């Protein structure tokens, strides 16, 4: 009875000390779109699995958007060192609960026109500041 209790207890400890994350099975943990979590009759039904990771890992969802190709790219997996990122067209979401990487906070999408116009505004502001400093120095 005692050896049986040991294995049951060890299995319970292993289960508690692991983290379950959604993970894509394609190369590089890339997920095909649209995401299919329900394992229905869709053609991509086996591309997302629930994987167990050590307790020092976190679940990650990396979502990026390329404004040139207008394509989204999503990576799902568990990772040891995760940094949240919230930039235009790129969102990395790190979470610490089982299966928490199914959803993410909203990603900010900016088109190529938006990205170039904001850099033009920044450049013109810098030029105006430099011109103002030059005039203040000479006058």
In Å, what is the CA distance from 117 to each residue of 88, 92, 114, 124, 131? 14, 25, 5, 11, 21
pLDDT at residue 9, as a whole number: 44
pLDDT at residue 26, as a whole number: 83
pLDDT at residue 124, as a whole number: 72
Q: Which helix (H) or strand (E) holds 22?
A: strand 18-24
Residues 6+ apart with CB under 8 A from 139: none
User: Tokens for 110?
Assistant: 């900016």
CATH of the domain at 76: 2.10.60.10
pLDDT at residue 116, as a whole number: 58
| Per-position pLDDT tens, the chain of length 139 | 555 544 444 444 444 679 999 999 888 888 878 887 765 555 555 688 999 999 999 999 999 999 999 999 999 999 999 999 999 999 999 999 999 999 988 999 988 776 555 555 666 777 788 888 887 877 7
pLDDT at residue 80, as a whole number: 95
Q: Which helix (H) or strand (E) holds 95?
A: strand 90-95
pLDDT at residue 130, as a whole number: 81
Tell me, yes or no, whether 92 and 120 share the same domain: no
**Whether 78 contacts 23, CB under 8 Å:** yes
Tell me, yes or no, whether 135 and 103 share the same domain: no
The tally of domains found in the chain comes to 2
Q: What is the DSSP letter of 6?
A: H
**Whether 76 contacts 39, CB under 8 Å:** no
pLDDT at residue 46, as a whole number: 60
Domain that holds residue 124: 110-139
pTM score of the predicted model: 0.66
Tell me, yes or no, whether 99 and 122 share the same domain: no
pLDDT at residue 8, as a whole number: 44
Tell me, yes or no, whether 53 and 10 share the same domain: yes
Q: Are strands 30-31 and 58-66 parallel, antiparallel or unpaired?
A: unpaired
């Amino acid at each position: 009875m005692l050896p049986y209790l040991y294995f049951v207890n060890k299995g319970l400890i292993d289960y508690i000390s692991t983290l379950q994350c959604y993970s894509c099975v394609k190369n590089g943990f890339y997920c095909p779109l649209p995401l299919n979590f329900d394992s229905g009759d869709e053609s991509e039904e086996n591309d997302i699995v629930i994987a167990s990771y050590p307790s020092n890992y976190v679940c990650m969802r990396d979502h990026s958007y390329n404004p040139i190709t207008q394509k989204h790219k999503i990576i799902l997996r568990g990772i040891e060192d995760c940094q949240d990122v919230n930039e235009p067209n790129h969102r990395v979401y790190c979470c610490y609960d089982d299966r928490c990487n199914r959803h993410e906070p909203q990603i900010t999408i900016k088109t190529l026109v938006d990205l170039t116009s904001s850099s033009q505004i920044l450049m013109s502001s810098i030029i105006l500041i430099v011109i103002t400093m030059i005039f203040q120095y000479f006058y």
